[in-house]
Amino acid sequence: MALKKKATTPAGVATHQEFTDPALKMAVRIPSPPPLLDQIMRLLEMPNASMEDISLVIQTDAGLTASLYRMLAKPIYGLRRPPETVSQAISLVGLTTVAELVKGLTLEKAIYGESKFYPWFWDRANDIAAYAATIAWKQRTACNLFPEHAKLAGLFMDCGVPILIQHIEKYEYAFITANGHVWPNVPSEDKRFDTDHSVVGYMAARHWKLPDYVCQAVRWHHDALNVDDKSATLVAILQTAQHIYNQQSMKDDSDWEAQEATALNEIGISKDGLREFEDEIAERCRT
């Protein structure tokens, strides 16, 4: 997929990049990773950077540090007790894992607005991302994917929606009802406005330097990928996570019928065992 981009702020640190893509009829401004994340990624590329150097960068944001501690307290990371310092967190789960978790934790801050849509959207995205990470952990033998990558994919897969709302005011209308917000048939909304939220999410994932197979899963998360690679497995995890979210939240789950057979086969779950699997994933995410 060919992308073209240009900085939108020529002086200083850019807060957005403007992207174009053949699949879209418009240029889209994607929020850039925060300077703190750029510092971390630069340090990771330096052979002489120490664990303490990266710890000091993360600790400059107290809220981020607290969120990181809460994240690593989840059972999927297998820690006997939550870390008490950032250095300890890095020593326990590794530099790369911490960096990937920081990407997810900072994305929500980067894509936000005054509308009530945004907290509702991120609550939903965080729930689906938690289910995805837990599925990857539970099915680690069958799937062989990092839970933090599944979590990132869950956060990024629909992030094109709030980005598009910031460009097309009427795009938000389908999400609003008299009783609050709903999740509509987003591909149909894309067709109405001649755009594609999956492509925008893919561009955001690329811009934030997510692993390529995660970017591909974000791009194709509505499809059953008939290929034997990590992207197909991650798509299956995302579709199953969204199904569990819909079941737990009593939301429309009409997409699952077309996705079920391929997704369950890809992650190693039988149809007969699905209900028990759903309950276990939901229970683990509540702890």
**β-pairing, 4-7 with 16-20?**
antiparallel
End-to-end CA, the chain: 40
Answer yes or no: are the C-beta atoms of 117 and 175 closer than 8 Å. yes
State the Cα–Cα distance between residues 230 and 224, nearest whole angstrom.
13
Please compute the mean of the pLDDT values over residues 137-159 and round it to a whole number: 95
Answer yes or no: are the C-beta atoms of 266 and 236 closer than 8 Å. yes
74-126 pLDDT per residue, tens: 877 878 887 889 999 888 888 888 888 899 889 988 999 888 999 999 999 99
The single-letter DSSP state of residue 26 is: S
CATH superfamily of 113-286: Hypothetical protein af1432 (1.10.3210.10)
Asked whether residue 67 carries a pLDDT value surpassing 60, the answer given is: yes
Name residue 177's beta-bridge partners: 180
State the Cα–Cα distance between residues 123 and 2, nearest whole angstrom.
32
State the Cα–Cα distance between residues 148 and 96, nearest whole angstrom.
10
Residues in the chain, overall count: 287
3-24 pLDDT per residue, tens: 555 544 443 444 888 988 887 8
Quote the tokens at residue 28.
Answer: 């889209």
The single-letter DSSP state of residue 25 is: S
H helix intervals, the chain: 35-44, 51-58, 62-72, 86-93, 95-110, 117-138, 140-143, 147-156, 160-165, 186-192, 197-207, 212-219, 230-249, 256-267, 274-286
Give the residue, 8 or 196, on which the prediction is more confident: 196
User: Considering only CA atoms, which of 163, 156, 175, 168 is closest in space to residue 116?
Assistant: 175
Please compute the mean of the pLDDT values over residues 118-144 and round it to a whole number: 95
Please compute the mean of the pLDDT values over residues 45-73 and round it to a whole number: 87
pLDDT of 9 reads 44
